[in-house]
């Protein structure tokens, strides 16, 4: 069985391997010992905090195979971005150049540098190792965050965003960044990406063009990738779109990958989730449907994906002994759950 739990210091070696495997462009997991250890420390502080509103708390979870003890994936939430460091995007807009006298009317796409998402909650750091891909593991890592946020709504913004990795090749070359590099930055994409990952964002404000960029002045290659995602990111984007996320014109300032957003109360899994006390009955649970299930703790959070059933008459959730043990709960404790497959 796979469980999802808060990361801890002993997971550092696994997190480092995941950071290496995730590759260039996965900014939230830089291959840097000091920063990865700091990320774990921040997450431990977040899970032990008593937050009553969104702040600079970070929640980083890992998926662990309980049979082998191996950490096979990560998934994370930043409660409020831009609180300590500036949070930059480009917003895609339009300007009109028109002359009534000459009967000329041209609409031009522009990119405007902005901080519009300051203070919102970001889901991030979703990565599943090669050996664990398959089945519902990827979906589990993604959807567990919505259950956690729904259970502890006071800790998070109503607006939830996700930055999707943009187009780059195996060597880390980004067509969008190459144009910016030639005209403004004089550093390659892997370097800029790494500096951002380690929290060095001052250079962005110092070197980024201060005025809107006319898209038709960019190279054809750069124009073609604006709002497009990396091949490896397409499944993650599709998952979020199924949940109700959409792009509202914001893209990453380095690779032009789209940022998608949704209101927490409108996210499909969060909206469909229920909270009930449990009874433990292996036979009844086995006859039920597959669900994503979390306990209601923050510090001792656990999540599983397994069969369970609901007794409408008694208003209880029926789970197995194995599931109860994995969740660290007893009969009478409450769980929050949502179905793995929706019945449309």
Contacts of 132 (CB under 8 A, 6+ apart): 2, 63, 65, 72, 73
Residue in 89, 230, 266, 291 annotated catalytic = 230
User: Over the range 263-279, which residues count as b (16 or more CB within 10 Å of their CB) and which as e?
Assistant: ebeebbbbeebeebebb
Q: DSSP string covering 57-73, please? A: -EEEEEEEETTT--EEE
- Helices (DSSP H) in the chain: which residue ranges? 12-22, 33-48, 137-151, 175-180, 189-197, 202-207, 220-225, 234-243, 268-272, 282-286, 321-327
**Cα–Cα nearest to 148, from 275, 333, 290:** 275
CA-based radius of gyration for the chain: 22
For residues 334 and 50, what is the distance between their CA atoms, to the nearest angstrom?
Answer: 20
Q: Is residue 266 annotated as part of the catalytic site, yes or no? A: no
Rounded CA gap, 272 and 266, in Å? 9
Number of neighbouring beta carbons within 10 Å of residue 280: 18
What is the C-alpha separation between 274 and 311, in angstroms, rounded?
13
Catalytic residues: 230
């Amino acid at each position: 069985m796979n469980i999802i739990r808060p990361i801890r210091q002993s997971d550092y070696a696994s997190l480092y391997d995941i950071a290496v495997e995730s590759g260039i462009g996965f900014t939230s997991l830089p291959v840097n010992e000091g920063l990865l250890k700091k990320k774990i420390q921040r997450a431990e502080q977040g899970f032990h905090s008593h937050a009553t509103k969104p702040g600079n708390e970070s929640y980083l979870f890992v998926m662990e195979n309980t049979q082998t003890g191996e950490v096979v994936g990560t998934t994370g939430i930043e409660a409020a971005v831009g609180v300590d460091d500036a949070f930059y995007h480009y917003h895609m807009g339009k300007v009109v150049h028109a002359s009534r006298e000459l009967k000329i009317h041209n609409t031009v796409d522009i990119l405007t540098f902005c901080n519009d998402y300051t203070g919102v909650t970001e889901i991030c750091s979703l990565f599943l190792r090669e050996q664990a891909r398959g089945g519902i593991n990827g979906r589990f890592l993604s959807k567990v965050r919505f259950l956690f946020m729904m259970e502890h709504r006071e800790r998070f913004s109503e607006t939830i965003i996700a930055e999707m990795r943009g187009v780059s090749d195996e060597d880390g070359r980004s067509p969008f960044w190459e144009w910016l590099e030639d005209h403004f930055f004089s550093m390659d994409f892997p370097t800029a990406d790494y500096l951002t990952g380690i929290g060095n964002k001052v250079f962005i404000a110092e070197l980024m063009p201060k005025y809107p960029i006319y898209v038709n002045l960019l190279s054809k290659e750069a124009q073609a990738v604006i709002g497009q995602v990396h091949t490896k990111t397409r499944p993650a984007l599709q998952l979020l779109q199924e949940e109700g996320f959409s792009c509202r014109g914001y893209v990453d300032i380095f690779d032009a990958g789209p940022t998608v957003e949704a209101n927490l109360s409108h996210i499909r899994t969060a909206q469909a989730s229920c909270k009930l006390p449990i009874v433990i009955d292996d036979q009844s649970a086995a006859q039920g449907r597959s669900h994503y299930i979390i306990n209601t703790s923050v510090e001792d959070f656990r999540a599983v994906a397994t069969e369970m059933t609901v007794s409408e008459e008694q208003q209880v959730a029926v789970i197995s002994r194995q599931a109860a043990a994995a969740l660290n709960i007893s009969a009478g404790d409450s769980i929050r759950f949502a179905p793995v497959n929706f019945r449309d």
